[in-house]
């Protein structure tokens, strides 16, 4: 399972958001043990994407049930404006080398 969070960030906040994501938010989410891998990307347009990989649907469901609300509230407290988030859950159908 791949859980992707996309952030449209006001350009004036980009450095602060990037630092928070890399040094605090993503490491704390990874510390839950619900995901086995994550990567953080920035598009040339300035949009950020974090992809978290869960081994099973159960691991993802555990993240939602036990941790999601706390992380969302912490993020919104830190960045109440200037960011538009979108979330998607993907199931891999096939992969090529």
What pLDDT score was predicted for residue 30? 98
What pLDDT score was predicted for residue 23? 97
Residue 33: which region, alpha, beta or left (left: phi > 0; alpha: psi -120 to 50)? left
User: What is the pTM assigned to this prediction?
Assistant: 0.93
What pLDDT score was predicted for residue 54? 97
CA-to-CA distance for 70 and 50, rounded, in angstroms? 18
Tens digit of each residue's pLDDT (9 = 90 or more) over 10-48: 999 999 999 999 999 999 999 999 999 999 999 999 899
What pLDDT score was predicted for residue 91? 93
What pLDDT score was predicted for residue 56? 96
CATH of domain 2-90: 3.30.70.100
Helix (H) or strand (E) holding 26: helix 26-30
Domain positions in the chain are: 2-90
């Amino acid at each position: 399972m791949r859980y992707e969070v996309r952030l449209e960030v006001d350009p004036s906040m980009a450095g602060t958001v990037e630092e928070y994501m890399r040094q605090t938010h993503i490491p704390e989410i990874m510390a839950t043990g619900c995901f086995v891998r994550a990567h953080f990307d920035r598009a040339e347009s300035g949009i950020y994407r974090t992809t978290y990989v869960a081994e099973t649907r159960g691991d993802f469901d555990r993240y939602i049930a036990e941790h999601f609300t706390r992380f969302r509230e912490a993020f919104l407290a830190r960045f109440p404006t200037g960011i538009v988030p979108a979330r998607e859950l993907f199931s891999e159908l096939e992969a090529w080398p």
